[in-house]
A and B are shown apart, each in its own frame.
Chain A
Amino acid sequence: GESVGLHLPTLSVQEGDNSIINCAYSNSASDYFIWYKQESGKGPQFIIDIRSNMDKRQGQRVTVLLNKTVKHLSLQIAATQPGDSAVYFCAENIYGNQGGKLIFGQGTELSVKP
């Protein structure tokens, strides 16, 4: 019979607009968070990270916001470009413990319309 796979959450934005990708993390003890970008046929690529002693960190065109109260992480991409089209994963870790193991979210697919 036919199998039904999981469908990733999808975000579609117009080129030049800002994108916001959200992530709810699971472990209140997690204190290190990373955003990765994965293009088709490639491995995850590091974008930006943040420790729990911060609530905001900025990189080039990207900003990560952390709300520990509600266990929520977001990635903001300014002036989204077609090259930003990819699947974005958040990952959490209990810093310094458990062999540096990361727990990954399901991912969000970002589609940029020209």
Chain B
Amino acid sequence: NAGVTQTPKFRVLKTGQSMTLLCAQDMNHEYMYWYRQDPGMGLRLIHYSVGEGTTAKGEVPDGYNVSRLKKQNFLLGLESAAPSQTSVYFCASSYPPGLGNQPQHFGDGTRLSIL
């Protein structure tokens, strides 16, 4: 099993450009999440999804959009990139919390720099 796979691993953008980060999981998880991690800080939730076709805002959603057209994929979009969005982005997935202890499983991140 690959687990959670994120593409690309690295990307440099200019201010105002757009891009989409892709997350794919092969664990048949219902729930998927996008986080950002900045130096010396824990992870902050951007958006999440509790199932195919559903999305919801997290702690820091502004400037991002997401889509969950297929259960195994969760896309994070930046419509007009800003330097403040320079960060490392992590995707995670899990079973629904009601099915026992269900920790989130993370990908290895996408390192994004906005110039």
Is A bound to B? yes
List residues of A whose CB falls within 8 A of some B CB: 5-8, 32, 34, 36, 41-46, 49, 51, 89, 93, 95-97, 99-102, 104-107
B residues 35-57 touching A (CB-CB < 8 Å) = 39-45, 48, 50, 56
Q: Which 5 A-B pairs have the closest CB atoms?
A: A6-B40, A104-B42, A43-B106, A100-B97, A46-B103
Nearest-neighbor residue (CB-CB) of B48 within chain A: A99
A101–B58 contact, CB under 8 A?
Answer: yes
Q: Which B positions have Cβ atoms within 8 angstroms of A?
A: 4, 31, 33, 39-45, 48, 50, 56, 58, 90, 92, 94, 96-98, 101-109
- Nearest-CB distance from A103 to chain B (Å)? 8
CB pair A43 B41 closer than 8 Å: no
The closest CB in chain B to the CB of A57 belongs to: B101
Residues of A contacting B102 in the complex (Cβ-Cβ under 8 angstroms): 100
Residue of B4, B58, B97, B105 with most partner-chain A CB within 10 A: B97
A-B contact pairs, 15 of them (CB 8 A): A6-B39, A6-B41, A8-B40, A32-B97, A34-B103, A42-B108, A43-B92, A43-B107, A43-B109, A96-B98, A99-B50, A101-B33, A102-B104, A106-B42, A107-B42
What residues on B are CB-neighbors of A36 within 8 Å? 106
Q: A32-B101, A45-B106 are in contact. Are A99 and B31 (CB under 8 A)?
A: yes
Nearest neighbor of B49 in chain A, beta-carbon distance: A99
In the bound complex, CA of A114 to CA of B79 (Å): 47
B48: A residues at CB distance < 8 A:
99-101
